[in-house]
Amino acid sequence: MDLESLYQDIILDHYKHPRGKGLLDRPMGSAFHVNPTCGDEITVQVNQDPQGGLIIGYDGQGCSISQASASVLVELIHGETIEKSEEIRKAFLEMMHAQGAGDPNEDILGDAIAFAGVAKFPARVKCALLSWMALQDAEIQAGLLTTGEGA
Ligand code: ZN
């Protein structure tokens, strides 16, 4: 199996079996983002446990890339600190803006590495980034991030 079809399998698996999908009861921060060119919709919500671990909830509908990306986001960010969350989010943004070049760090990105192939298709990059933009807004709203930081 070549790398490209392995990546497609990972994305399809997250699309068919979304991890941690569902909204939180009383989120500290919540952001709803729309990708009008594709019709994708994502809500990402954030809470923080007393130890500083992030609790992520989400809901949405749209194409396989947007929904799989949200599922991967939850898998990677849930339980992490805000600092680690930022490290992962920035690594993902960097990979998606590298147009298939660059050298994404699989240790940090986990299953998100599967979206490296999507980065070659500018029209789909917005789909992949939608939930990550919503995450940033939810974290700002929750008071966990300062506005303008790393945007
Ligand atoms: Zn889409």
Give the pLDDT of residue 151: 47
3-141: which CATH architecture? Alpha-Beta Complex (3.90)
Q: For 55-74, what is the mean pLDDT?
A: 98
**Closest listed residue to residue 56, CA positions, set 29, 83, 35:** 29
- Cβ burial, residue 85 (10 Å; 0-12/13-18/19+): buried
Alpha carbon of 49 to ligand 1 centroid (Å): 32
Closest CA relative to residue 85, chosen from 67, 73, 97? 73
Neighbours of ion ligand 1 (CB under 5 A): 38, 40, 63, 66, 127
Using the mean position of ligand 1's atoms as its centre, give its distance from the Cα of residue 62 in Å: 6
CA Rg value for the chain: 14
The pTM (predicted TM-score) of the whole model is 0.93
Contact (CB, 8 A) for 110 and 48: no
pLDDT digits (tens, 9 = 90+) for 84-132: 999 999 999 999 999 878 888 999 999 999 999 899 888 899 999 999 9
* Residue pair 81/32 in contact by the 8 Å Cβ criterion: no
C-alpha distances (whole Å) from 148 to each of 87, 109, 126, 151 are 16, 23, 20, 6
- Measuring CA to CA, which residue among 141, 146, 148, 116 is closest to residue 29? 141
Q: How far is the CA of 11 from the centre of ligand 1 (A)?
A: 13
Instruction: Give CA–CA dist 151/137, Å, rounded.
Output: 10
Measure 109 CA to ligand 1 centroid, in angstroms: 20
